[in-house]
Amino acid sequence: MMKNLEDKIKLQRLLNLGTDLNRIHDPDALMERILKEARDFCSADAGSIYIVEKNYLVISYIQNNTLKKNKVVYKERHVPIDNLSIAGYCAKTGQIVILNDVSDINLSLPFRFNSNFDEMTGYRTKSILSIPMKGNQDRVIGVLQIINPLDKSKTPLKFSEEDTKTLHLFAGIAAVALQKAQLTKSIILKMIQMAELHDPSETGAHVHRVSAYSTELYIAWALKNNIPNEIIDRNKDILKLVAMVHDIGKVAISDLILKKPGKLTDEEFEIMKKHTIFGAKMFEEENSEFDQAAREVILNHHERWDGKGYPGIISSPGINKNKKPAGKKGKEIPLFGRIVSIADVFDALSSKRCYKDPWPQEKVINFLKENSGKMFDPELIEIFLNNINTMNSITQKFR
């Protein structure tokens, strides 16, 4: 009776997780959640997720409780899909691999345990469970690898038959959610590539930087304001993607304006302003949290804290030619719009454009300080500048 009850609880947990995972739009955030939940099912100390890219597996996410205070560096990020490695064999054959002692692998098997990671970090891998993540048409899209299930005294255990069955089912649910998230991001990146062909300032590097700046700023703001972790996780996932499409409406603006090397005329600038409305129209159905947030960011990232921004409060897709809407001000501007505004301006000033050289950082910081309470939310500016080292590391990452 007790066993049946435990099975029902696990099954219900899996069903609930499937629903939760399908709400996550960003593949990186999704992999973090998948790996955490998989480890929790069997109290595992560590694990990793490999994603299939052509003929290789790419180590996309690593978690390790024992090494969490250390910097984990893994140089062998690309693993061939062949029979020579554990993960490669799992991906190639589509079979689950269970090794309860990696130092005693059956000699009839073609693979051996690669101890390079253990030697480099001092970690001790005892047991490994590798499960293929199969998506559409039973195609392997990745490998979920769980390492060292532990008892209460932190002693490595063997993987039980129950662990294997549960994680196999979980890997199937996770693969479907991951494919959906990858498709969403792929569509967004194609939209950005289309904009990049049209607008020389809207590059892939620019939108990735604005996305990363915005996400870090939101997390810092949320922690400062004691926002619950589950809300932070959900919002940072959405913001990371919607920040990428903040200027997608520029595809509707003439090249003569977008690529003009000099200052725009007043008439040209009025036309340029409409990119916020053109972009928002692409998401006006608001069928999901993503659509709603995208519309919010696109419409509001050029509003100003003092109310002198644009496009203001509008009730229709176009601007009334006889009366311009007043700009939103202060906290009338949605939070995501206020955040992306800072990230976008910081990156624009710090980057080379066809009409300007990059500003020195001291000058950029002074500009942000001088416009705190004018263009920008003063609380967010303070948080942004307190995290300037994090922002600089993002700049280096997405050069």
The set of catalytic residues is 250
Whether residue 311 has a cis bond before it, omega within 30° of 0? yes
Q: What is the rounded distance in angstroms from the CA atom of residue 151 to the CA atom of residue 240?
A: 37
Q: Which residue has the tokens 């991951």?
A: 178
Question: Contact at 8 Å (CB) between 263 and 206?
Answer: no
Q: What is the rounded distance in angstroms from the CA atom of residue 42 to the CA atom of residue 162?
A: 9
Q: What is the rounded distance in angstroms from the CA atom of residue 3 to the CA atom of residue 162?
A: 11
Question: Contact at 8 Å (CB) between 337 and 218?
Answer: no
Q: What is the rounded distance in angstroms from the CA atom of residue 283 to the CA atom of residue 13?
A: 33
Write a three-state SS string for 192-235.
HHHHHHHCCCCCHHHHHHHHHHHHHHHHHHHHHCCCCHHHHHHH
The token duo for 95 is: 């079979």
Residue 100: CB atoms within 10 Å: 14
Residue 164: CB atoms within 10 Å: 16
The Cα angle at residue 226 between residues 221 and 231, in degrees rounded to 5 = 80
